[in-house]
With several copies, the nearest count.
Chain A
Amino acid sequence: MSKSIFDPQVIKKEFPLLERSVNDNPIVYLDSAATSQKPIEVIERMNDYYKEINANVHRGAYHIAELATEEVEETRRKVHRFINSNSEKEIIFTKNATEAINLVSYSWARSQLTDGDVILLSSLEHHSNIVPWQQLSSERDIEIRWIPITHDGQLDLDNIDELLKGVKLLCVTAVSNALGTINPVKKLVEAAHKVGALCLVDACQSTPHFETDVTDLGADFIAFSGHKMCGPTGIGVLWGRLEILENMPPFLGGGEMILNVTSDGFTANELPWKFEAGTPPIAEIIGLGVAISYLEKIGMGAIREHEQKLTSYALQMLNDRFGNDLIIHGPQNPIDRSGVLSLSYRDVHPHDLSQVLDQYGVCVRAGHHCCKPLMKLMGLNATARASLYIYNDESDIDVLADAINEAGKIFA
């Protein structure tokens, strides 16, 4: 938590990609909500894995297979501690957060929900926490209901008790990837539990930026991806409460997830392997472990503090400089938001804006950010989204502002 160790200049140097140039300008990476950059120690540890202990896990009795297995299982324990779960058996490795959510949908929901049940979604959800439920509701007579939002993109909970009637599952993102809104997840979990519903929290945009404590949160499932939190691509996590996971049928079938197979049928393995079919993403799991250690070394509290300060700076500075020409969507108070700045600049289309920004080395994302229902509610087609992380500093925001200004000139 100590501020002294947090120096974005030092941190920046640990990310090799941030040293490169784009179009003769030093890169200014502002798309961490899509995927984060990776510190050198994550990259090198995966290298070392391939060079020194690459072997398939869990079944080899030879030395390097044991080492690889040990690193995979040690990472499981690390994730368990990182999110303060009850047991390492609750940590299931998937390929990304999307698979984790689908696992809940295919295994838990399809075995538990029947015609007439209701799933409540927040209007801030990413497609990955919408489409799996729409798929289910097109198979069965399951109603999908939405928590509305206020004009500044916060959940409108005035009628939450009404909305929760008949609900069996509440799906809510901890932080909106499109607007940066931080949701009152703990409160929502409590409300859901009061009516006997379970709560699945999409933690993709919170685990990289804040402390995560599933015990305190009280949720039933959380899903997140490694690639947004300094880890590699190809690895995600589902956490679920032990007693719930234990009663769920397997999802993907195959090697690793069985205890026994005969020609007549199979017996599923114990948790967590029951849900991990096939060769796991071994190097990726190990990379995620290093990423978590890296974040813990900096301190999740310090990370949040840094991002909040930087967000305050950005809101203030961009506002001062562009006034009404630039709309920053979402909550106005930095306390209510993460480092996601979803922008509309005059009538310059976000795609054009991001193209011009790229010319100055500034990487932002243009589009619907996989949140089309939310965008529609906000009356938007697309925004240009700048999203911050540990390696960003005020100078990055300044370059962003200058580049926005240049775009204004082209599309005057």
Chain B
Amino acid sequence: MTGLEDLYKEVILDHYRSPRNKGELPTPPAIMEEGFNPLCGDDVKVYVILEDKVIKEIRIGGQGCSISQASASMMTESVLGKTLDEAKEVFERFKKMMSSHENDLNSAESSLDETPSSLGDLEALKGVVKYPVRIKCATLGWNTFDQIIDSVEN
């Protein structure tokens, strides 16, 4: 079977099958935000406990497809223990990787190569940019997490 290997990389399937930091946290002390993907009905709940703007704990609830679940799972790993500013910086880099298609779908391949190679597991999600609909899946957890950052900062 050709073509889907880019999307369903082994690391993605692994995060999907064994999601990290799955569950809930009591609110308070945790902050919770919920996100919807109106296209497919998936929803995600992100719970975060902050201490001095450092992400001490994070959990993911809700349900979704392999891409949204794996991406959220990877997100938890990449931001846990980081400050909000650091987390935001990771998000920015991730968003950049995910939006390379928006500029030009056809030149996606080339712009992919320019993505900074420091996103760890998250880089496995590169292949998603070829499937515009799935970008929404991959960014759902992140955008929900971003709402938490927003609510803390304002």
Contact = CB atoms under 8 A, between A and B. Distances in A.
Q: Check whether chain A touches chain B (CB < 8 angstroms).
A: yes
A406 B42 contact: no
A61 interface: yes
A355 B40 contact: no
Contacts of A58: 39
B2 to A, nearest CB: 8
A368 interface: yes
Nearest to A62: B133
Interface string B34-72: 001011111100000000000000000001111101000
B4 A356 contact: yes
A410 B4 contact: yes
Interface in B83-140: 105, 131-134, 137
Main secondary structure of the interface of B (DSSP, over half): loop
Interface residues of A, number: 32
A269 B38 contact: yes
B41 to A, nearest CB: 4
Contacts of B11: none
A382 B131 contact: no
Contact of B132 (A66, A355, A356): A66
A2 interface: no
B63 A381 contact: yes
B7 interface: yes
A359 B4 contact: yes
Given A70-B105, A349-B64, A411-B13, A355 B36 contact: no
Interface string A143-171: 00000000000000000000000000000
B29 interface: no
Nearest to A73: B132
Interface string A298-319: 0000000000000000000000
B8 A410 contact: yes
B3 interface: yes
B131 A367 contact: no
A258 B131 contact: no
A349 B66 contact: yes
A95 interface: no
Contact of B40 (A23, A267, A350, A406): A350
A356 B65 CA distance: 12
A41 interface: no
Nearest to A273: B38
B65 A351 contact: yes
A319 to B, nearest CB: 25
Given A356-B4, A410-B8, A351 B42 contact: yes
Nearest to A23: B3
Interface string A33-68: 000000000000000000000000011110001100
B150 to A, nearest CB: 15
Across the A-B interface, the 9 shortest Cβ-Cβ residue pairs: A368-B41, A351-B65, A349-B65, A367-B40, A382-B41, A61-B133, A259-B38, A352-B66, A381-B63
20 contacts: A59-B40, A61-B131, A61-B133, A65-B133, A69-B132, A259-B38, A349-B66, A349-B69, A350-B40, A351-B137, A352-B8, A352-B67, A355-B7, A366-B40, A367-B39, A367-B41, A368-B40, A375-B41, A382-B41, A410-B4
Interface of A: 23, 58-61, 65-66, 69-70, 258-260, 267, 269, 273, 349-352, 355-356, 359, 366-368, 372, 375, 381-382, 406, 410-411
Given A349-B66, A351-B137, 11 more contacts: A61-B131, A61-B134, A69-B133, A70-B132, A349-B64, A351-B40, A351-B67, A355-B7, A367-B39, A381-B63, A382-B42
